[in-house]
Structures are given as C-alpha cells and as structure tokens.
Amino acid sequence: MISKSALEFLDDLRENNNRDWFIGQKKRYEAYKAEYHDLVSAFLEKMKQGDPSLERLEVKNCTFRVNRDIRFTKDKSPYKTHMGVWMNTNPGSNGPGYYVHLERGASFLAGGLYNPEADDLKKVRREIAFFHEDLEEIVQKTDFVKVFGTLDQDNSLKTAPKDFDKDHPAIHFLKLKAFTATAKLSDKEITSKDFVEKASQKLLLLKPLNQFINRALGADE
C-alpha cells in the first residue's frame, strides 16, 4: 500500500514543484523515499514467486530518481510527482516487464514492451505475423480481458507497416508501435493493506505477453 502521508507529499510536490520548496522538505522526502523502497521490495518478493525472470532484480533496479529529465521538454518542472515501479524481465535492455504507477486519481498497472527500438519492433511484428494465434490466445484469456481489456491501441500506425500485408488477420496488432496493456487503479485500491498482493496477481496475468515478446526479441534474424 501507499500511505496517506506519501500521497500528501506527492500532492504538495505537485503544487510546489521547485527546488527551494523541495530542499525545505528533506525529512518528508527521506520518509517518502524509504516507503518507496519498501514498496518496491514488497513487489519484488511477490513478483519473483510468479516470474523467475525477475530473480536478478534488486530494489535499485526498479526505482526512478525523483528528478525529471528536462533537457528535451517544455515542461521544466524539476521533480516527478508520482511513484513508479519498473520490473524488467530482461535487465540491461529495453525488454518487456511490469510497471506500477502511483499518483492520486491517476494510478495504473501496466506491462509489456514500451517504445521499442526499430529492430526490436520489427522482431516482435515478425513474431506476430507468423504466430499471431499465440498472441490472440494470450490476450483473449478471460482473466486478461477482465483486468486489461486488450493491448493498448493508442500508439498505432494508420496503415500497415512496411513489409507486412494490410490484409493480415492480425493487422490490428502489427500496426502497434508498442505492445502494452494497462489497468487503472483507484485511490482506494492503492491505499488498501492487500494492495501489493492483489496488484501482483493482476500483473502476473501479463507474464505470457512478456514471454511472447522475449521470445520474439531472442529470435534469430
């Protein structure tokens, strides 16, 4: 669970997103950071039981710095105002994994492969082209549909990608530029005592999707 005090810190940071305010909140930030790391540790303990590919991960591999990278954005706010947990099934690469985003009124669970490099994107599309029945079976499972619906469709090409038939039976998947699934979380859910356990159960529904993607990424040219 995320505590009321942690959410209040993030709320206040959103309203006072500047260095002077942040420096004056050192004790609150240190308490928030300790809770953040404890939450990541709890997720890793649960998730490793269901997905051995996460076994090498430590807390430090799954957290984000509070400082934002503002070099290439118009928004120069220096600090992140959410808590994020990223558990990569293929550490050291842009592999698929599991993500937890905690922010009052905007929390969600997600997983899969986000923003792949061109070569990786082509590998996944090739896997889908030849073995789309496997992907269809994964995303049509009752529990997957109940929690995640289907793969996220908002990052998709308008036409068929190069070298792929526009009439392919899985063209709706081949058009995707990322292969992710998302489930919203309520404030009540993220502050409940059994949050980590229930969220982990939902995240592990994405394990077959991540395995399909890793299979594609490991395929020979």
What are the DSSP calls for the chain, one per residue?
Answer: ---HHHHHHHHHHHHT-SHHHHHTTHHHHHHHHHHHHHHHHHHHHHHHHH-GGGTT--HHHH---SB---TT-S----B--SEEEEEESSTTSS--EEEEEE-TT-EEEEEEE-S--HHHHHHHHHHHHHHHHHHHHHHTSHHHHHHH-SS--SSB-SSPPTTS-TT-TTHHHHTBSSEEEEEEE-HHHHTSTTHHHHHHHHHGGGHHHHHHHHHHHTS--
How far is Cα of residue 86 from the mean position of the Cα atoms in its chain? 6
pLDDT tens, 108-154?
A: 999 999 999 999 999 999 999 999 999 999 999 999 999 999 999 98
Cα distance between residue 17 and residue 121, in whole Å = 36
Cα distance between residue 221 and residue 217, in whole Å = 10
How far is Cα of residue 88 from the mean position of the Cα atoms in its chain? 9
Total-model pTM: 0.94
Q: How many residues does the chain have?
A: 221
Cα distance between residue 198 and residue 36, in whole Å = 18
- The answer to whether residues 14 and 82 touch, using CB atoms and an 8 Å cutoff, is no
Number of domains in the chain: 1
pLDDT tens, 10-50?
A: 999 999 999 999 999 999 999 999 999 999 999 999 999 99
Residue 221 has pLDDT above 50, yes or no: no
Q: What percent of the chain is predicted at pLDDT more than 70?
A: 99
Q: Which domain holds residue 27?
A: 4-217
Residue 182 has pLDDT above 70, yes or no: yes
Cα distance between residue 123 and residue 118, in whole Å = 9
Cα distance between residue 205 and residue 143, in whole Å = 7
For tokens 């969600």, what's the residue? Answer: 108
Cα dihedral sign, 78-79-84-86: positive
